[in-house]
Structure 1
Amino acid sequence: MQYICYVLITYWALEDKGVFSVKSYYRSIRGEQTNVEGGFWKQLWGLKLPGKIINLVWRACRNVLPVASELIKKYVNIDLLCPQCHLRPETPVHVLFMCSFAKELWCKVGLQDVIQVDESATILQILGQAFRKCSREKQVMLSLLCWSIWYRRNVCVWDKKFLSMFGVQSMAMQLLQDWRRSQEELGTRMQRGSNENVTHLCRPPEGWVKVNVDAACRDQLGFIGMGCVARDHMGRFMRARCATMRGGMPPREAEAWSLRAALLWMDEGMEASKVYF
């Protein structure tokens, strides 16, 4: 009886719309979901931004960024201090908001007022509060600059280069402009395609064999690979083959070689069939 009452109470507390799900109940028990967090996730995933930027913010909020403090917990022998300022331990909050470079950047773009940073706060709490105060455009800028700051940190760690504040800000804006332009062009092409006669891939005629061929260049390993698969006019699998060749060549020549190899292979085993590439 106690268990039933607890489930009913949780159901009433979690589901305002009257739809109970095991997933939400499980996450509530683990303390992973609140109404505030749910609103933040909905806003984050609804931003018109490249997937890699939203994924970076999500990883930061889930506290899985490979910063020094987290790597040390996994027994990685690494210096705990921030590789950029060398003053404080490198934590997710420090990298994105408390490092001297990050602080200066947030002030430069005029977002220091919406970012309330506390030593004990998490990225999720900081961004959750900031998103509630911000317009949609500022939410985009927050996420974009978080990604840019993290990119600058990685360049510093791996390439030993320190990007300037102007370089980081301009890179972020250029990335956003390029992505928006590509989305507009994609939408235009799709709109044009809906009004034009588009040629779709179709099955080969009856009695023919359809062969798909592809090639891969592995210059570092010193060989070229090819693969092909044959299907009948109903799309049913018939046979497949892969092969490699030592050496290197441009991608276009590799594609030509793979096509030739597929032709020879089909000529050996399917003399009575017509081949359709």
Structure 2
Amino acid sequence: MPNMLHIDATIFELIDKAIGAWKDALIKQIFLPTEAQTILSIPRSHRCTHDCMVWAYTVKGNFMVNSAYKVAITSSPNATMEGVSTNDMTGRFWQTFWSLGIPTKLKTFAWRASHNILPTKVNLCRCGVIDNATCEACGLAEETSGHLFWDCTKAHEVWMATGISFDATAHLARPLFKEQVDTRWIPPSHPWYKANIDTALFPDHHTIGIGVIIRDHEGSVITALSKHLPLPLGPMEAEAKVVDEAVSFAWDVRVRKVIFETNSKVVSNALCGTITPRVTIVDIIEGALHRLQAFRRT
């Protein structure tokens, strides 16, 4: 297959300058499948920025000897879990998990459950869909993810029926559920709008799904967006990308006084400037912030 780039071509030649996205077809034509997937997994913002050298294994992108040591240790065939950070182990866990030979819908369900983004009654109340979060099965507590799978009396009966040893006070899965303090959707003040956003991963198909819904101060739906993007992103990169897409969507539909609400605390804090975004999402965060400045001028 002939190479479609000249000998002095740079990475910039692989980017669509009009929208700041990768040239998907060109990349897949030139590179091997594994190489193309690696390139496409690097998230891009709508704003084209200058290239720079970064070290992907630290938050700020600066090279550090200890991070290089960890990379060398984890890449070794004889690597053990000793001395590996919690983040490294979490990443390794999900990498192994997504490679399991089980139906994609089961893996997606487990991932959504562990991130507390299943349509439990608490989450539905938070989004303003229903107004009662009490568990239908037991009627004793609110239906959170943790309650649904572990604390509900009916859940206990299911665990007992399986014959699997179950300890309601010390099971390993419980820390994965991140319950939110405010469980109800709070409408914005007039004349503001609120955009709620979410994303789903489809690693088997190397795509992500994004969803955006914009409502007014009365809770009425003004507009919504749902689409797939051919990007094999990780969870955090996907959360950042959906924010970038939501900002562009709000701009395109001429909704200016809008509050963006995401369930990713890392992305939210990065946008608010309270933390330094990881190098893998800094380009997206900066692009979204640049677009948001235009909202303030209109």
**Smaller-chain TM-score bracket:** 0.3 to 0.5
State the TM-score, normalizing by the size of structure 1: 0.33
Q: Greater CA radius of gyration, 1 or 2? A: 1
Which protein, 1 or 2, shows the higher relative CO under an 8 Å CA cutoff with sep ≥ 6?
A: 2
Taking structure 2 as the reference length, the TM-score comes to: 0.31
